């Protein structure tokens, strides 16, 4: 059985990029993994510079972002928008807009932006999203969902 290399190497509590995963110099055909790196640099520049966060906290955020990106990519990879184009590209554009145009961007806002259609358009429910990305992101995603919040609040769960 062959081992597929991952973009991120997470060992000893540190997150590092596996430069052997993809050809990083070929910008004409970037893989989703390369895009994760590009988006992460954008997040670092807009959110973490001068934040005073510890390296451990930033690394946890990188892992959360990677998990969200991979989940959204998986759930929306074969879905086309009614207006044309891949649905996943819409989610990425919303995320990029939040990173670049929000007065006070944050990793939570970024995660909510890329996940904003998960609960209403996939089989991912609030509790699953909460277990993957935490309460704040799951609640933020639920609050901007088309599903009325009272349905969730009145549920037995």
Query: Dmax over Cα atoms in the chain, in whole Å?
Result: 52
Mean pLDDT of 62-80: 87
The pLDDT value given to residue 113 = 92
pLDDT at 83: 82
Higher pLDDT, 109 or 150: 109
pLDDT, tens digit (0-9, with 9 covering 90-100), for 81-100: 888 778 888 888 888 888 88
Average pLDDT along the chain = 76
pLDDT at 115: 94
Residue pair 114/72 in contact by the 8 Å Cβ criterion? yes
């Amino acid at each position: 059985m062959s081992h597929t290399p991952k973009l991120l190497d997470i060992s000893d509590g540190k997150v590092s990029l596996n430069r052997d995963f993809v050809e990083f110099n070929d910008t004409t055909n970037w893989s989703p993994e390369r895009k994760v790196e590009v988006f992460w640099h954008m997040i670092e520049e807009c959110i973490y510079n001068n934040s005073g966060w510890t390296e451990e906290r930033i690394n946890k955020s990188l892992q959360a972002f990677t998990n969200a990106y991979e989940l959204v990519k998986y759930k929306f990879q074969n879905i086309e928008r009614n207006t044309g184009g891949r649905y996943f590209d819409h989610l990425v554009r919303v995320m990029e807009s939040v990173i670049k145009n929000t007065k006070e961007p944050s990793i939570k806002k970024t995660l909510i932006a890329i996940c904003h259609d998960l609960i209403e358009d996939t089989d991912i429910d609030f509790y699953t999203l909460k277990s993957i990305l935490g309460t704040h992101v799951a609640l933020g995603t639920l609050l901007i969902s088309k599903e009325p919040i009272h349905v969730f609040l009145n549920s037995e769960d």
